[in-house]
Amino acid sequence: MDASPTPKQSVRLDLEISRAQDGRLEGQLRSDAADRWSPFSGVLELLKVIEDTLDAVEAATHVQPKEGIES
């Protein structure tokens, strides 16, 4: 039987989106806790911005174990 993956912390994202003259999706995105927006133009770029934002949130909230203490 396969084990279910450990659920990760949910992240709330703010998204401002519109359609450009050529029909592409464009806008900006940020995590709820961030004050910097990341712009995107196109669906693939949106996915990259989402991945980068989640990586940054994960890195900021990751707690490193102290040396000499087993976790």
Is the pLDDT confidence value at 66 over 80? no
Q: Residue 39 has what pLDDT?
A: 97
The DSSP secondary-structure symbol of 3 reads P
In DSSP terms, 25 is beta-bridged to: 19
Distance, in Å, from the CA atom of 56 to the CA atom of 19, rounded to the nearest integer, reads 27
Q: Residue 5 has what pLDDT?
A: 63
Can you give the length of the chain in residues? 71
* In contact, 20 and 30? CB cutoff 8 Å: no
- Segment 7-60, tens digit of pLDDT: 677 899 999 999 999 999 999 999 988 889 999 999 999 999 999 999 988 888
For the full predicted model, state whether its pTM sits above 0.85. Answer: no
